[in-house]
Structure 1
Amino acid sequence: MRKKVWLLLALIGLIALLSGCMEIDEPINSESEGIWNSFFVYPLSLVIVYIAELFSGSFGLSIIVVTIFLRLILLPLNVKQLKSSQAMQDIQPELKKLQEKYASKDANTQQKLQQETMNLFQKHGVNPLAGCLPIFVQMPILIAMYHAIMRTPEIQTHTFLWFELGSPDYILPLIAAGATFLQQKLMMAGSAAAQNPQMMVMLYVMPIMIGVMGFILPAALALYWVVGNVFMIAQTVFIRKPMMNNQNNGGDKK
């Protein structure tokens, strides 16, 4: 679990580094050069502009539609991640017994523990790295969306609801932080992660980071975070909760 926390922190740092170093102040257009601009940022910017035109120039609605579309594309990977997380939770009792059985710190005992742990994973079809795959796949998409929003000139001059898309807002970041907290809270509910101090720290650190960045960056990004997290909340409620209920019912029948 500790490795996953450090991996998440490293990815957050990578996002911050890439977001700040990759021509973020240069508008994106057909003349923008480079693989990143040509195949990721510019096509996404075109889609945002095209959908906005369908909604009478509403770039706010366009960002909402594109965000939902991207989340739907990533849904199979997120479902795989949820199943992997649930499978890891299911074998925790057996894993704890192995750790108690091989509690000694000598090299031979620890080698046996690793071997027995791998056998346990194979027996239940659990891949401990499967939960990390969606994170790696999402990173280019999320960074591309960030760049498309920041570098599409039309977004900077439009308003949506009560806020200007190109300027920071003071209400939307609070909503984004709250949605992030709720989404993570639902993900941890009833899982072993809820008992892990490191994951509990992340439960509060991530919403704070989202909130602080929301006060600094354009409101269009905060809107993207709000919609994305609301989608993830719905995904958790309609996919993970039934999955856990089915598992609990199965355990009751046993």
Structure 2
Amino acid sequence: MVQPGTGHNSVREWITGRNPVFETLSVHRRQCFRLMLATGIDEKGVIAEILTFARGMKIPVERVNRQKIDSLGGNPQGIALETSPYPYVDLRAILKAAEKKGEPPFILILDTLQDPQNLGTLLRSAEAFGVHGVIIPAHSAAGVTPAVVHASSGACEHLLIAATNLAQAISELKQANIWVIGLDAGLDAVDIADVWLDGSLALVVGSEAEGMRPLVRRSCDTIARLPMTGHIESLNAAVSGSIALYLASRKR
């Protein structure tokens, strides 16, 4: 399976930040090679827990100058973990996860989001609201890079994420009797309060600038909108998608 995003050819990458590093180690889905810790950092709380994980997993720990970690970018908080890339799954694994829990599938589909912060926010919301898995395009979209891991505060490490052709994936979901709802504005969009959200459901969120691509939009069973009464015409993809996930989780 092709991995999306700018870093799909890299063999190793650096996860930074206390929560992202902790969640990566706790889930233990990636291969971890070494942990860098800034000298002088207070080894209490979550740092102590991270070091306990590292000892148990026999991960080498290097105490280094804080500038070396800061050079990795973002807000590393004095800690960095060298890992293998994010482990994508296929669509069947997501459906099996729902079946194993005895729950109707609840899936988030993200159509060509480009901003790592938006992707990270939506992945964090998906994990918080009980989504069984996320589907993203194999090409032309942000993948689960270290920046996305950081933006999701490590929540993506708990999620099953498939990178594939969205139109084909939607077709497979429909064959599995999963209702596909696109989140968008437009004359054909109905108030999300009037949309069936109770059972097997896939929610599609479009890109920041263009929304859903035409083929993906036509593939949806229903187009839903969030009713708004303020002066701002629309919310960004991360906010609107998170609200829709919350509403669906409440119905479920």
TM-score (norm. length: structure 1): 0.24
Structure with greater helix share of residues: 1
TM-score (norm. length: structure 2): 0.24
Structure with greater strand share of residues: 2
- Work out which of the two has the higher radius of gyration on C-alpha atoms and give 1 or 2: 1
